[in-house]
Amino acid sequence: MNRYISCLLTLLLASCDGGLWNNPYPAADAGKSILYTAFTERPKHLDPAQAYSENEYEFLAQIYAPPLQYHYLKRPYQLIPLAAAQMPAVRYLDMHNRALPDDAPAEKIAYSVYEIRIKQGMRYQPHPAFSRDAQGKPEYDHLAPRDLRDIHALGDFAHTGTRTVTAADYAYQIKRLANPQLHQPIFGVMSEYIVGLKDYAAVLQQALKSNPDAFLDLNAYPLPGVQVVDEQTYRITIHGKYPQFAYWLAMPFFAPLPQEAERFYAQAGMHERNLTLDWWPVGSGPYYLSENDPNLRMVLSRNPNYDSEHYPAEGEPGDAQAGLLADAGKLLPLIDRVVFSLEKETIPYWNKFLQGYYDASGISSDSFDQAVQVNVGGEAALTDSMRAQGISLSTSVATSTMYTGFNWLDLVVGGNSDRARKLRQAIAIAVDFEEFVSIFANGRGIAAQSPIPPGIFGYREGEAGINRYVYDWVNGAPQRKSIEQARRLLAEAGYPDGVDEQTRQPLVINLDTTASGVGSKARLDWLRKQFDKINVQLVVRSTDYNRFQDKIRKGDTQMFYFGWNADYPDPENFFFLLHGAQAKVGKGGENAANYGNPEYDRLFGQMKNMDNNPARQVIIDRMQEILRRDSPWLWGYHPKNYVLQHGWLHNVKANVMANNKLKYWRVDAGQRDASRREWNQPVRWPLWLGAAALLLFGGWMWRVLRQREEAR
């Protein structure tokens, strides 16, 4: 037995590389410029034409370099060039292609032409698709199945190469947005704007049908709305005026894609090996995906060919004092490697963060009290134990909104009648979202006054920004109106004390939700209690995801939970969720409440094409007033992000719009190693105790058995 224990211990010790026993990373990586972080869900897509989720952008934004990006430090959020040499020049044309002045009214503008000039000398990441043989021909463009026999990952190819990024690569990626072989989430919206994109998709569909097995050469078909002017310049022509188009240019949808990469992956045998563009991206950004095992870890390595960007030299007031400008002017990225480990469960994630094996972490509800205490003034502060570890906290309000919608088509809660409006207003007062945030989100959120979250143009602070149908301004803060007022509104709506005057039946309202089970019970019970305050019965209809979506599409609901995460920081991206033309029923849009108000729709049409100026603010104020009065949603809350980071991680500033943040971060690997050593020294006595207990028990057993045998 002793021998086996010794062997096991020897093996265990041998496998520890001489480092800390609980270090999940190779000891050889100590002291290196590596960021350790985690992901909780494997990304579905890594193809820039298909990816649209936050967890996909976490990777793609580091790998691809679209023309524009958000300034990392400045607020409000501001677009700046990334791959573009300068901000795109926009020209407006009338329907006869005649130039219009910049201040031409939106209705006169038939086309907007975005001319984008990209930086010179940008190069792609090392990739076998670019590798050339001695004659200068592509090395891996005619692979036979036997050539792929020993190839299981991209790193198994012996050679890689690179090439300069051209304007044609950007044009090619825009064409991919219409490729019928892919699912492009923004094809619907882009085909309304980019000239000829819809017809182009039809042409490609036809070409694919006539020759389904051939490589679909997108460059063989012209797309009128995209023109390559020269090596560095291309133009995108869109219908009408659409200022928000610039925001789309900051997303990976508009990053460059080399056609040879698509040809490379289209070869026989590649797909069977998961060698696809959706699995192994080919970008020109600061990092490239060097290891892709989404069941365990994904590793981004510095793109050795990325040398076109430096750390910003200016930011907001206070950034310099916070040390955020200490690296100004340095070549990006500042970290050589980023290791993302899959952590499906929050407990191991949190414990590894506390041990120093992750550099930053969010805070789950389980760990909130351990990490954060809320002081008398309601402000969140770190606990003493966190501060003792040198951990700091940064918070930011997400550009998201979590709301509860009323179905505008419903005969009881929907519609523009005074009766229904007052009923909705009464419910809006009764459902106390401040309490909800406090109980169920550990205070991580702010009750919403309208669909617009803070940080988005149109949001108003203070008294001017409150929803006067639900709140009063008392002692410098919004105060929810009393339940008596809600009851009065309910009575005016024809439901005195929660009873329908006409039918003499209690008012029953149904809420459709996918939430079910023990985890959601507390929330749903809380919601029922809110309705109980005004004697309205809430019936929760829990349903599976498919049925829920089906009900929403058909308008077969009264109330429902929903949420929205902004694509870009513009009020249009929130207000369109309530635009009549976007109604879910009949139009298949994003207006799940099917809200319709002609005045609101008219103002939306005016507001959406305007630049951010006082005139736009006036229209937004008017729109918010209409929404607050009509109350088609319970405005819910805007979640607040809490991020903890260790003292060795520098240049971290909350930025809810920019996904390409990692290139600005810097780690002090020496400090990290020292802290890890201090916090993770193995405690050996349990091993010796266990071994001793086993020996004693074994010895005792042996003696007892001997005695029994002798006694026989």
Q: Applying CB under 8 A, does 2 fall inside the site for another protein?
A: no
Kindly state the helix (H) or strand (E) to which residue 206 belongs, with its residue range. helix 197-210
13 or 539: CB nearest another protein: 13
91 or 198: CB nearest another protein: 198
Kindly tell me which residue out of 188, 304, 670, 698 binds another protein, with binding defined by CB under 8 A. 188
Taking the C-alpha atoms of residue 530 and residue 552, their distance in angstroms, rounded to an integer, is 24
Burial of 15 (0-12, 13-18, 19+ CB in 10 A): exposed
Going 352 to 357 to 358 to 361, the CA torsion angle's sign is positive
Contacts (CB under 8 A) with another protein, residues 36-65: 44-45, 52-53
Taking the C-alpha atoms of residue 73 and residue 329, their distance in angstroms, rounded to an integer, is 14
309 or 512: CB nearest another protein: 512
Binding piece for another protein, criterion CB under 8 A, among 68-76, 125-133, 342-350, 415-423: 342-350
Are 358 and 36 spatial neighbours (Cβ–Cβ below 8 Å)?
A: yes
User: Smallest Cα–Cα separation from 465: which of 568, 617, 345?
Assistant: 617
229 or 701: CB nearest another protein: 701
297 or 528: CB nearest another protein: 297
Contacts (CB under 8 A) with another protein, residues 230-269: none
Which residues pair with residue 299 across a beta bridge? 291, 339
| Least distance in angstroms from the C-beta of 289 to another protein | 15
7 or 522: CB nearest another protein: 7
Kindly tell me which residue out of 369, 418, 544, 599 binds another protein, with binding defined by CB under 8 A. 544
Tokens of 479: 């105060």
| Least distance in angstroms from the C-beta of 174 to another protein | 17
165 or 360: CB nearest another protein: 360
212 or 317: CB nearest another protein: 212
Q: Applying CB under 8 A, does 278 fall inside the site for another protein?
A: yes
Burial 453-489 (b: 16+ CB within 10 A, else e): bbbbbbbbeeeebbbebbbeeeeeebebbebebbbbb
24 or 161: CB nearest another protein: 24
Binding piece for another protein, criterion CB under 8 A, among 288-296, 411-419, 593-601, 665-673: 288-296
Give the distance from CA 212 to its chain's centroid: 35
Kindly tell me which residue out of 545, 611, 614, 707 binds another protein, with binding defined by CB under 8 A. 545
Q: Applying CB under 8 A, does 345 fall inside the site for another protein?
A: yes
Give the contacts of 472 (CB within 8 A, at least 6 positions apart): 478, 479, 481
| Least distance in angstroms from the C-beta of 384 to another protein | 19
40 or 479: CB nearest another protein: 40
Q: Applying CB under 8 A, does 272 fall inside the site for another protein?
A: yes
Taking the C-alpha atoms of residue 641 and residue 395, their distance in angstroms, rounded to an integer, is 5
Kindly tell me which residue out of 347, 477, 618, 674 binds another protein, with binding defined by CB under 8 A. 347
Are 606 and 616 spatial neighbours (Cβ–Cβ below 8 Å)?
A: no
DSSP per position, 39-91: ESS--S---TTT--SHHHHHHHHHH---SEEE-SS-SS--EEESSBSSSPEEE
Q: Which amino acid is at 384?
A: D
Binding piece for another protein, criterion CB under 8 A, among 228-236, 293-301, 312-320, 494-502: 293-301
Binding piece for another protein, criterion CB under 8 A, among 231-239, 353-361, 484-492, 595-603: 353-361
CB atoms < 10 A from the CB of 348, how many? 14
| Least distance in angstroms from the C-beta of 297 to another protein | 8
Q: What is the 3-state secondary structure (H, E, C) of 304-353?
A: CCCCCCECCCCCCCCCCCCCCCCCCCCECCCCCEEEEEECCCHHHHHHHH
Stretch 451-490: interaction string toward another protein, x if CB under 8 A: ----------------------------------------
User: Smallest Cα–Cα separation from 378: which of 297, 452, 447?
Assistant: 447
User: Smallest Cα–Cα separation from 514: which of 548, 470, 558?
Assistant: 548
Taking the C-alpha atoms of residue 299 and residue 268, their distance in angstroms, rounded to an integer, is 27
Kindly tell me which residue out of 296, 692, 695, 696 binds another protein, with binding defined by CB under 8 A. 296
- Residue the block writes with tokens 């190819």: 157
Q: Applying CB under 8 A, does 444 fall inside the site for another protein?
A: no
Q: Applying CB under 8 A, does 693 fall inside the site for another protein?
A: no
The 3-state DSSP composition of the chain as helix, strand, coil percent (nearest 5) reads: 35, 20, 45
Kindly tell me which residue out of 120, 181, 206, 482 binds another protein, with binding defined by CB under 8 A. 181
- Given the rule CB under 8 A, which residues bind another protein? 11-12, 14-17, 20-26, 44-45, 52-53, 180-181, 183-189, 271-274, 276, 278-279, 293, 295-297, 341-345, 347-348, 351-352, 354-355, 357, 544-546, 549-550, 588, 590, 680-683, 686-687, 701, 705, 708-709, 712
